[in-house]
C-alpha cells in the first residue's frame, strides 16, 4: 500500500460531499438518508475492484473458507465455471450489504442461504467447514471490510480516527446480512484490529488452495483472450494490495521497485476518484443495486 497517506474526511473529499446526491437512483428512498447508510456510501469506491483478487485470497487464507470454496459442488458459484455470474453474485452482495435496505438484505440472504446450504465438508475433506458457520462468515466479512478501508486509504488518504470508527461500525451488514450476529461484530475499530491480529494466526494456505488462488491472481478463470491480456497486470495489483502475511503465504515476491510503481498507480487513480462525481465513483456497485431491485420487482432469481 502507498506510504503517502494524509488524514482526510469523506466530508471534505472533492466531489464526494455528503448530500442527497446518492448517485444510485432510488437509493435514497430505500433508507439511504440514514447516517450509517451515508457512511457506507462514502467508502464504496468502484475502482477498488482492482483489489478484488487480493481480498478473495485473504478470505480463502482461512482453511475452512478456502476448502469450502475449492471443494464446493455449487457450479453456479464456481468462478472457474461461471466467472461472470460469480462476479455478479459477489458484487451484488456487497452492493446490497453496503447500500441496500434491510428488506433487500433479507431477500438476498434467503437467496444466498440456498446456495450455502450445499457447502459443507464431508469425510474426505482435509478440514471441517460449513458455509453457515458464523465464525467463518465473520472472517470473510472482516476481510471485506478491510478491503473497503484499504482501498479508501490507497485512493483517498487516511481517515480521521473518529470517522474511521463511525464507518467501521456502519459496515457491520457485511457480516450481519448473513449469519453473523450483531454482537459478534467487534464493537470498535480498535477491537476489530485486535480481532484481525489475533486471527492472522489462523491463516494458512496449503498447496491445494494456493494453486486455486494463483489462478484467481492471474485471472486464469477468464476466457483465454482476457486471461492473456490481464494476467500480468492482475498479478501485479493483487500482490500490491495483499498484506505481507498473505503475500508470504502465497509465495509471491514483491520488490521496492514494484512498490514504487504500485504507489504511483494509486496516486493517479486517487486523483481520478477524488474528482469523480458520486455516481461514477460508486460504479458498478450502484448498477448492481439497481439490478437487484429490478430482479426483486420482476421476480427473477437474485443469485
Domain boundaries, the chain: 25-298
Q: Give the separation between CA 286 and CA 63, rounded to whole angstroms.
A: 32
pLDDT block averages, 10 residues each, the chain of length 303: 49 43 42 65 92 98 97 91 94 96 96 94 95 97 96 90 91 95 96 97 97 97 95 98 97 98 96 94 96 96 92
Let me know: does 242 contact 250? Beta carbons within 8 Å: yes
Q: Give the separation between CA 92 and CA 45, rounded to whole angstroms.
A: 14
- pTM of the predicted model, to two decimals? 0.89
pLDDT recorded at residue 261: 98
pLDDT recorded at residue 92: 96
Q: Which residues pair with 120 in a beta bridge?
A: 130
Q: Give the separation between CA 219 and CA 206, rounded to whole angstroms.
A: 20
pLDDT recorded at residue 10: 54
Cell matching residue 81: 465455471
Let me know: does 70 contact 261? Beta carbons within 8 Å: no
Cell matching residue 140: 470473510
Cell matching residue 161: 480516527
Burial class (CB in 10 A: 0-12, 13-18, 19+), 224: exposed
pLDDT recorded at residue 9: 54
Q: Give the separation between CA 237 and CA 52, rounded to whole angstroms.
A: 9
Let me know: does 292 contact 103? Beta carbons within 8 Å: no
Amino acid at each position: 500500500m502507498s506510504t503517502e497517506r494524509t488524514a482526510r474526511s469523506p466530508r471534505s473529499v472533492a466531489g464526494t460531499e455528503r448530500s442527497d446526491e446518492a448517485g444510485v437512483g432510488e437509493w435514497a428512498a430505500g433508507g439511504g438518508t440514514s447516517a450509517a447508510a451515508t457512511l457506507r456510501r462514502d467508502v464504496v469506491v468502484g475502482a477498488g475492484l482492482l483489489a478484488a483478487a487480493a481480498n478473495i485470497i485473504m478470505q480463502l487464507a482461512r482453511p475452512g473458507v478456502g476448502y469450502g470454496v475449492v471443494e464446493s459442488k455449487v457450479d453456479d458459484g464456481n468462478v472457474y465455471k461461471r466467472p461472470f455470474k460469480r462476479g455478479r453474485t459477489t458484487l451484488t452482495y456487497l452492493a446490497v450489504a453496503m447500500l441496500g435496505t434491510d428488506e433487500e438484505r433479507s431477500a438476498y440472504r434467503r437467496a444466498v442461504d440456498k446456495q450455502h446450504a450445499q457447502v459443507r465438508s464431508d469425510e474426505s475433506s482435509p478440514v471441517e467447514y460449513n458455509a453457515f458457520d458464523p465464525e467463518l462468515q465473520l472472517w470473510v466479512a472482516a476481510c471485506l471490510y478491510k478491503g473497503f478501508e484499504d482501498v479508501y486509504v490507497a485512493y483517498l488518504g487516511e481517515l480521521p480516527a473518529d470517522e474511521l470508527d463511525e464507518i467501521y461500525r456502519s459496515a457491520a451488514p457485511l457480516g450481519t446480512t448473513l449469519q453473523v450476529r450483531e454482537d459478534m461484530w467487534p464493537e470498535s475499530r480498535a477491537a476489530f484490529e485486535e480481532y484481525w491480529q489475533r486471527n492472522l494466526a489462523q491463516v494458512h494456505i496449503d498447496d491445494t488452495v494456493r494453486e486455486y488462488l494463483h489462478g484467481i491472481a492471474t485471472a486464469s478463470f477468464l476466457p483465454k483472450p482476457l486471461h492473456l491480456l490481464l494476467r500480468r497486470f492482475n498479478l501485479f495489483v493483487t500482490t500490491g494490495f495483499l498484506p505481507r502475511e498473505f503475500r508470504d503465504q502465497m509465495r509471491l515476491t514483491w520488490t521496492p521497485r514494484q512498490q514504487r510503481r504500485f504507489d504511483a498507480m494509486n496516486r493517479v487513480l486517487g486523483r481520478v476518484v477524488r474528482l469523480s462525481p458520486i455516481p461514477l465513483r460508486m460504479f458498478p456497485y450502484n448498477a448492481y443495486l439497481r439490478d437487484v431491485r429490478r430482479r426483486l420487482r420482476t421476480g427473477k432469481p437474485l443469485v
